[in-house]
Amino acid sequence: MQNIIPRLAAVHDISGFGKCSLTVVLPILSAMGIEVCPLPTAVLSTHTGGFGDYTFLDMTDDMPKIIDHWKSLDIKFDAIYSGFLGSPRQVDILIDFIEKFKHDKLLTIVDPVMGDHGKLYSTMTDEMVEKMRKLVANASIITPNFTEAALLLGEECVTGAVSDDLVFSWAKRLADLGAAQVVITSVMSDDNEMYVVIYDKQTGAAKKIYCKYTQGVFHGTGDTFTSVLSARLLHGDSLEAAAQTAANFVSAAIAETVKYPGITTRDGILFEKVLANGL
Ligand code: PXL
């Protein structure tokens, strides 16, 4: 039987405070009409970006047990969407998960969460970067930010503006790692605007998607973007339409957030206002 509501397995950590990963993925996808089944990779008190001494419970050993239970129940997923992983071994577990639940229409969305603004997040290692290259080979769509794109390609993590030629060639090289479609987020233009690049391997077409408002740097924007993108793709949108809606959503949430100067980078964005009031 087909799922009445599209069903997505969300392979992310849960960070109690700081608005990223599952605390963003769950509400956004549910509000957009997608059933979310969380497969937690780690449980943290906060995300790793700016709150000091966070707690970290690694869920690696439990993940295969959760997957096996789901398999015994014959649960069908329309999509598997992964983000922040708690250990390099989770890549092998995730590849096995994809293999066990594979069918013709399964959408595998991998956000290779590793770093941003030219730097690795504090729990990430060179081993994780190496393993992420293996994971992206098993995805239908990948959504690295510009730093993660550089890490996957073994390029220097530059920050600041880059040429269209460079970012289009990176998108193509990323697709050569395995995914049919590539989205690179947080790319900076000469006039200090952020944009997203989408690339489709089958058509060979690359396109820039502009965001209306992107001043300010906040945690969880990547998770917000890929959640909206995943929801719209599951509802049948083209990659371009889904990426534009996701960019508009993030822009609108940032525009809400910067109205309140007390909210800083680590606090994340006021995505709830956009969910509640619409775009
Ligand atoms: O939003 C990416 C992310 C997810 N999960 C954790 C993080 C980060 C980024 O810092 O620390 C735990």
End-to-end CA distance of the chain: 33
Q: Which two tokens stand for residue 3?
A: 């799922």
| Cα–Cα distance measured from residue 261 to residue 279, given in angstroms and rounded to the nearest whole number | 22
| Cα–Cα distance measured from residue 118 to residue 248, given in angstroms and rounded to the nearest whole number | 24
Q: Which two tokens stand for residue 193?
A: 């605007």
Q: Which of 226, 278, 233 is nearest to 253 (CA)?
A: 278
Residues in the chain: 279
Q: Kindly give the number of the ligand 1 atom that is closest to the alpha carbon of 121.
A: 10
Residue 49 CA to ligand 1 center (angstroms) comes to 7
The residue nearest atom 1 of ligand 1, judged by CA position, is: 220
Longest CA pairwise span in the chain (Å): 53
Residue 82 CA to ligand 1 center (angstroms) comes to 12
- Most informative mutation of 41, 51, 121 for ligand 1 (most atoms within 8 A of CB): 121
Q: Kindly give the number of the ligand 1 atom that is closest to the alpha carbon of 222.
A: 1
What pairs with residue 200 in β-bridges? 181, 205
Average predicted confidence (pLDDT) for the chain: 95
Q: Which of 182, 234, 239 is nearest to 78 (CA)?
A: 234
| Cα–Cα distance measured from residue 8 to residue 167, given in angstroms and rounded to the nearest whole number | 30
The residue nearest atom 8 of ligand 1, judged by CA position, is: 47
Q: Kindly give the number of the ligand 1 atom that is closest to the alpha carbon of 15.
A: 12
The pLDDT profile of the chain, 279 residues, written as one tens digit per residue, is 689 999 999 999 999 999 999 999 999 999 999 999 999 999 999 999 999 999 999 999 999 999 999 999 999 999 999 999 999 999 999 999 999 999 999 999 999 999 999 999 999 999 999 999 999 999 999 999 999 999 999 999 888 889 999 999 999 999 999 999 999 999 988 877 889 999 999 999 999 999 876 677 899 999 999 999 999 999 999 999 999 999 999 999 999 999 999 999 999 999 999 998 876
Q: Find the angle CA(271)-CA(274)-CA(276) to the nearest 5 degrees.
A: 105
pLDDT digit string, tens, across residues 206-232: 999 998 766 778 999 999 999 999 999
Residue 22 CA to ligand 1 center (angstroms) comes to 10
Residue 206 is which amino acid? A
Residue 20 CA to ligand 1 center (angstroms) comes to 6
DSSP sequence for 124-191: --HHHHHHHHHHHTT-SEE--BHHHHHHHHT-----S---HHHHHHHHHHHHHTT-SEEEEEEEEPTT
pLDDT digit string, tens, across residues 131-161: 999 999 999 999 999 999 999 999 998 888 8
